[in-house]
Amino acid sequence: MITKLPYCKNCGHPSHRGDCGVDDCGCVRYEARPDREDRQRTWIVSVEFFEKNRWMPAVEVRVKAQGVGGAVMKAVRQVKHERASKRRVLQTRIVAVPVPRAGIARPNAKQSAGVVA
């Protein structure tokens, strides 16, 4: 297995260059780029298929992806693979909702609107 070199988050230089400030890229210090798994978040995706003049019931799937496009792509592939009917899909209805990350404090909706309870 090939070991993956970490790259600088700011300028993209590999970690073996040490201090990135000596290069002409404008980077002042080395800061490691986070791993792909750390950049991914959990999404809840609801997928419905239109087959033979009717909508099939919605299926909810939890997937891990970086963005909404990747989450939708993974969810559609998974639901198509798991479904019982093998008829041709005419239309697809998708709803993707991100799951909030743990540890991020979000203000209450009333507090952000200026309403004090």
| pLDDT tens, residue order, the chain (117 aa) | 455 667 777 777 766 555 555 555 666 676 777 777 777 899 999 999 999 999 999 999 999 999 999 999 999 999 999 999 889 999 999 999 999 987 655 555 555 455 554
Q: Where are the domains of the chain?
A: 1-33, 37-102
Distance between CA atoms of 31 and 113, rounded to whole angstroms? 37
Encoded tokens for 28: 């002042």
Distance of CA 78 to the CA centre of its chain: 16
**pLDDT value of residue 35:** 72
**pLDDT value of residue 33:** 72
Q: Find the helix or strand (DSSP H, E) in which 51 lies.
A: strand 41-51
Strand partners, 55: 50
For domain 37-102, say whether CATH 3.10.20 is its number.
yes
Nearest to 49 by CA among 20, 78, 6, 25: 78
